Structure 1
Amino acid sequence: MQFSERYGYKPIREIIQKESINTNLKNSLWNTISECIFNEYSRPYLARANLISGSNLESFFKLLFHSYFKKRIDQIPYSIESTIAEIDTLFFKTYKWYEIYDFIEACLDYFPFDLDEKESFATLLNSCLEIENSVYRIINYRVTEITSEQEIQSIEDALINTNPYSGVQQHLNQSLKLMSDRQKPDYRNSIKESISAVESICKIVTNEDKATLGKALKIIEDKHGLHAALKGSLSQLYGYTSDADGIRHAMLEESNLSYIDAKFMLVACTNFINYLIEKTT
């Protein structure tokens, strides 16, 4: 992860890719399509050139040109190299971010090999999307959003609202950093940092440096009228971090926590932080 991401200088939307595809993700997706489809090309029997006609990818390209590109199939270039070059230009120079996802769905729809290979293709695409922190995943062979606009907005708002509280902001930045690290994400400690941000803001609001989260929530409830159901939800989240998967304990076994777990905790905690700051200031 780069300096600008680690210390919160890069906008959230550049870290969590929604309605955009950066160069790294675009290259990763293209490489996956190349490896799983284009590079599996085999020549027609006895042919001396890499012709499309008669090859194992002929039907794939015909479907793409007819049903997706809406072009005449007799305009398909003769060679595999020319055909890929034409698609390359569209993918890297012409297409907007959403058209790239349209093209990926078309590749899944017209995938030219067996179901097991198609599953592997979808898995590799998902790996690219996860590594590059896209909000989209391949689910049932469709590109599906897994992070909403409201969730991203909550994180952005919390980082702005906590400007006066450097300790809280540091916990949130660290949580985001650990969750979105492209090389080695640490979901366990990302969750820990999210709940630590809540603990920090509660101590600030109550002016009780040594208060546990439970005690701080009770003070806030008495002083500001915190709804009992909301207090209960926060207490349960705190219990989750204390118990589930040994997040707050030095366990030796490998964690089974995922991006979804870390994202849920970060969004839940930023929602509460935003609520608490607005309610008490």
Structure 2
Amino acid sequence: MLFSRRKGFVSVRDTIQKDSMDEPLRSGLWNAIHICIWKQIEYSRYEQYFEQANVYGLFQNYWHNYFKRPLDNLPHDIESAHRVVRKYFFECKWYEVYDFIEFTASYCPENMAPEFIKFCNHIFEKELSAYRFVDGVLTDITSEEEIASIEEAIDTSSKFSGVNQHLKRALALLSDRKQPDYRNSIKESISAVESLCKCLTEDDKATLGGALNRIEKSHQIHPAFKKALSNLYGFTNDSGGIRHALLEEDILTYVDAKFMLVSCSSFVNYMIGKAGEKS
């Protein structure tokens, strides 16, 4: 893991790509097109002309429905058409790349679409895109509100060094693009909540359950909110939970770790706000 991520110096918006797209993400998506579509080009049994290729209909749709260009300007050879598409892909805006990827999934040969979508989702997860294909449509999996919640928690917890470091570590483990550690990211997210509870109760030995009971009385936490957090915390401590070695098959994903980070960030923001009301 790079120093900047390990130490939490990379911003949440640079980590989770929602309103931007770096070169590894763009290149990875192009490779998905290259491997799943361009490398699968076939011609009719007797003709090797562009018009006889299985992707000719896709290129016609690019020209007519996507680029909105005259069809008689569509090149007569596949190499020239490919160059036009490639030039556009690497020069267009980040959000236009998503448009193009979604359009390609809709209009490519039917037998190519499942593997193409699967490959794209792999790249989205690997490069921490905030989007995924769901039922053939690109969908937000990380909202602006979730990003803002993580940012706020890291910012406002600066006076609680333990809380701040746990949150930064959780984000760093989640965002390591070479070797993400979702299990330990979840641990760090929960540890941030524990650390904050101990700070607010001024009891380093307090368990989260005990701390919540005391905070509920002193800061007027709604019982339903307390129960929700207790249930979430219980997930990490039951016999099959994160903190036990009994779960041999690691099935945790980016979505699991992101959910825990967002949830714990929201709790940190809520409790720091509550504590501020009493100061």
* Shorter-chain TM band: over 0.9
Give the 3-state SS of the residue equivalent to 2:237 in structure 1.
Answer: helix
Partners of 1:187 and 1:262 within 8 A in 2:
yes
1:38-68 Cα distance to aligned partner (Å, 9 max, x none): 2222356666xx7523222222211211111
User: What is the CA-CA distance between 1:162 and the residue it aligns to?
Assistant: 1.1
1:122 aligned partner: 117
How far apart, in 1, do the equivalents of 2:227 and 2:203 lie? 20
How far apart, in 1, do the equivalents of 2:73 and 2:96 lie? 21
Give the 3-state SS of the residue equivalent to 2:214 in structure 1.
Answer: helix
Partners of 2:163 and 2:195 within 8 A in 1:
yes
User: What is the CA-CA distance between 1:78 and the residue it aligns to?
Assistant: 2.2
The answer to whether structure 1 residue 97 and structure 2 residue 94 are counterparts is yes
How far apart, in 2, do the equivalents of 1:232 and 1:44 lie? 64
| Residue among 76, 79, 96 paired with 1:78 | 76
CA RMSD of aligned residues (A): 1.7
Measured at CA, do residues 77 and 245 of structure 1 come closer, stay the same or move farther in structure 2, by a change above 3 Å? farther
Partners of 1:32 and 1:125 within 8 A in 2:
yes
| Residue among 128, 136, 143 paired with 1:133 | 128
1:236 aligned partner, one-letter code? N
User: What is the CA-CA distance between 1:253 and the residue it aligns to?
Assistant: 0.8
User: What is the CA-CA distance between 1:199 and the residue it aligns to?
Assistant: 0.4
Measured at CA, do residues 61 and 162 of structure 1 come closer, stay the same or move farther in structure 2, by a change above 3 Å? same
User: What is the CA-CA distance between 1:194 and the residue it aligns to?
Assistant: 0.7
How far apart, in 2, do the equivalents of 1:85 and 1:3 lie? 38
Greater shift, 174-183 or 214-223, is seen at 174-183
1:111 aligned partner: 108
2:54 aligned partner: 56
User: What is the CA-CA distance between 1:268 and the residue it aligns to?
Assistant: 0.8
2:63 aligned partner: 65
Partners of 1:245 and 1:256 within 8 A in 2:
no
1:9-34 Cα distance to aligned partner (Å, 9 max, x none): 11101100102111100000001101
TM-score (norm 1): 0.93
User: What is the CA-CA distance between 1:109 and the residue it aligns to?
Assistant: 1.3
| Residue among 203, 207, 220 paired with 2:202 | 207
Partners of 1:44 and 1:53 within 8 A in 2:
no
Partners of 1:195 and 1:269 within 8 A in 2:
yes
Q: Which runs of 5+ in 2 are unaligned?
A: none
How far apart, in 2, do the equivalents of 1:246 and 1:238 lie? 10
1:203-262 Cα distance to aligned partner (Å, 9 max, x none): 111110110011111111121212211111111111111017331112361222222221
How far apart, in 2, do the equivalents of 1:79 and 1:87 lie? 13
Give the 5 Å matches for 1:26-41.
Answer: 26-41=26-41
1:33 aligned partner, one-letter code? I
Over 3 Å off, 4+ runs: 42-47
Number of residue pairs the alignment of both structures matches: 276
1:128-165 Cα distance to aligned partner (Å, 9 max, x none): 00000111001111111111111110000001011112
Measured at CA, do residues 18 and 244 of structure 1 come closer, stay the same or move farther in structure 2, by a change above 3 Å? farther
1:9 aligned partner: 9
The answer to whether structure 1 residue 161 and structure 2 residue 156 are counterparts is yes
| Residue among 172, 175, 186 paired with 2:181 | 186
2:29 aligned partner, one-letter code? L
TM-score (norm 2): 0.93
